[in-house]
Chain A
Amino acid sequence: MKLSVDLQKRLSPNFALDVKFAIPLGVTMLFGASGSGKTTLLRCVAGLIRPDSGQIKIGDQILFDSNARVDVPVRERKLGFLFQNLALFPHLSVVKNIEYGLDGLDRTHAQQRTEDILKLFRISGVRNHKPSEISGGERQRVALARALVTDPHVLMLDEPLSALDYPTQSQIIQDLRAWNAARNVPILYVTHSQREVFALGERVIGLENGKILGQGTPQDVLETPTQESLAQLAGFENFFDATVVSISKDSGTMLCKLDGAKTEVEVPLSRVDVGSKIRVAIRAGDIIVAGEFPRALSARNIVPARMISLRREGAMVIAGIDAGRRFEVHLTPGACESLSLKPGQQVWLVTKTHSWRLVAGTMGSARSR
């Protein structure tokens, strides 16, 4: 059963949610910065907020339709919802929390289901504890188990793992995958973490300022972002305005000059004309620094530059390098040492053509806010 959503909701004079999408079975990540409208979207689908207009369907079952005046109450929507702060009932034990949604079932059936899910999520040992008496990871699993035990038609998770350390996160991601392998329902998973997108999602929907910016596989949306805001979230650090100098259709590349500098770089071909203004982006980790001019190299862009600053941050050195425009480059401390890099030094920046991305800027949408 597919979840189709088409809804509009104005929350304030300058923020409106306006989205249209359909998600099939499996995990779809709803990805965006805070304030982009992810949680509001989830709450609209759950029925906790009434949209101004639109339609929400699971398969053929209409949950909300502003034209037909249908608005199925929250409790009849048969959804699983994991709240960001979990919303476990503090006065009920773990097992009572989980049984809470099984009210309509007969006693033995409900007990069987509860036992199964306690086992699957490895929380049988804390069954009679109150939520305040168990660890953060256990609480997360109890909340997930409580949402899943009712066999929801759609599962919605609002940043379920953001408060946990990495090993606990990946454990829970595995649990969720195991559960979904058997059930296979649409799962809408809200996050602002790239790592979760790649670890879990078969698909991702990028949301910005209440609008959908892109959707597809994590690779499509995050590795080749077409919007600057998505590119920033996906970890692209360097953005430049540029002008197309020449186009080479045969090799699928084009040459462009960074505005405000003499620097020219070769980037992947796009449907633009010579002379048009574009915006290009590259990750700080995709740039190679050479101490002297490199020869016999496959990389097409070798640009002379000057080291401005070096700053150690954890296991990484962040270098500020002037190549007509200022670039941020990430290096390992070892590489930094063997090249004996220091500020003021002459270096060369090496980039592969296909490390560059063309993005659409957010200046327009920023102004219309």
Chain B
Amino acid sequence: MDWPAILLSLKLSSLVCGFLLLIGTPIAYWVTFSRWRWKFLVESVVALPIVLPPTVLGFYILLAIGSQSPIGRAWAAWSGHGLAFTFEGLVIASTLYSLPFMVQPMAAAFSQVNHQLIEASSVLGASKLRTFIRIILPLAMNGVITGAILTFAHTMGEFGVVLMVGGNIPGVTRTVSIAIYDQVQSLDYAAANRTALLLLLFSFAVLCVVYGLNRKSWAVWPLRR
């Protein structure tokens, strides 16, 4: 079993999941409640990683963080090394790649919250932030958890973007899916099978949790009709 690759994947997924909880929540809130007429443009951009081939996304991210780009140069000036083919670059790429998997379940759950409860909260003197924390977030918790789980699992399994942006450096950018690819390339089918089976069971367990949670959500709204 290729434990360094598995641990690297777990570390990457946790970081991406954490970042996306921070970035995705305000985006999901804005997407749900904004009445801006060009909102659909932002929604489309957020959803792009779902339809785009990972190689396309990876290619543009590589260009954007490469040593020629402003972002790449700024990072290099600050940290002393480039972003491409590093773990940090991988985190940025994965965060973008998994954005819709965090934002869409959250936005769906936010919009399910009875609007009258939000109005009642503001009539009672609560600010938008307080309304979000005390009313919207608890009532949409299923969506947040679903988003976090899907993000985590999606990052665990990504391949194309990692290969484009991170390459294949053991202990730095060599994640589980790349390790399986390597094992197959070197005709070590037994090792590939062990790793692949682990990933398969993990993904199945994750989806069980997601669907189990969402079925429960039917029983969570006692006041809704």
Contacts and interface: CB of A to CB of B under 8 A. Distances in A.
Which bucket holds chain A's interface residue count? 20 to 34
B222 interface: yes
B115 to A, nearest CB: 9
Which bucket holds chain B's interface residue count? 20 to 34
A2 interface: no
Given A89-B117, A90-B221, A90-B223, A75 B134 contact: no
Contacts of A131: 222-223
Nearest to A48: B119
A75 B126 CA distance: 6
Contacts, number: 62
A103 B223 contact: no
Nearest to B119: A48
B123 interface: yes
A75 B222 contact: no
Interface string A54-92: 000000000000000000011111111101010111110
B122 A87 contact: no
Interface in A87-102: 87-91, 100-101
Contacts of A36: none
A103 B130 contact: yes
Contacts of B122: 73-75
B138 interface: yes
A87 B138 contact: no
B138 A74 contact: no
B125 A81 contact: no
Of B123, B125, B127, B135, most A-chain CB atoms within 10 Å? B123
A280 to B, nearest CB: 44
Contact of A103 (B116, B126, B221): B126
Contacts of A132: 222-223
A74 to B, nearest CB: 4
A88 B223 contact: yes
A94 B222 CA distance: 14
A78 B138 CA distance: 25
Contact of A100 (B121, B139, B222, B223): B121
Nearest to A77: B123
B120 interface: yes
A102 B138 CA distance: 20
Summarize B's interface: helix, strand, loop or mixed. helix
Interface string B206-225: 00000000000000011110
B223 A79 contact: no
Nearest to B127: A75
Contact of B126 (A80, A88, A100): A100
Contacts of A146: 124
A52 B224 CA distance: 32
Interface string B109-147: 000001011011111111100100011001100000000
Contacts of A100: 121, 124, 126, 134
Nearest to B134: A100
B194 to A, nearest CB: 44
Contacts of B223: 88, 90, 131-132
A286 B112 CA distance: 52
B124 A150 contact: yes
B221 to A, nearest CB: 7
A130 interface: yes
Contacts of A101: 124-126
A88 B124 CA distance: 12
B216 to A, nearest CB: 14
Nearest to B128: A75
A74 B123 contact: yes
Interface string A214-244: 0000000000000000000000000000000
Contacts of A83: 116, 119-120
B120 A90 contact: no
A97 to B, nearest CB: 9
A188 interface: no
Interface in B80-121: 114, 116-117, 119-121
Interface in A300-355: none
Contacts of B134: 89, 100
B120 A87 contact: yes
A46 interface: yes
Nearest to A139: B223
Contacts of B224: 90
A87 B117 contact: yes
Nearest to B222: A132
Contact of B120 (A76, A81, A91, A130): A81
Given A89-B135, A100-B121, A101-B125, 10 more contacts: A74-B119, A74-B123, A75-B127, A77-B123, A80-B123, A81-B120, A83-B116, A83-B120, A90-B222, A103-B130
6 contacts: A73-B122, A74-B119, A79-B123, A87-B114, A90-B222, A132-B222
Interface of A: 46, 48, 73-81, 83, 85, 87-91, 100-101, 103-104, 130-132, 146, 150
Top 10 nearest A-B pairs (CB, nearest first) are: A132-B222, A101-B124, A87-B120, A87-B116, A90-B223, A74-B122, A81-B123, A75-B122, A75-B125, A91-B138
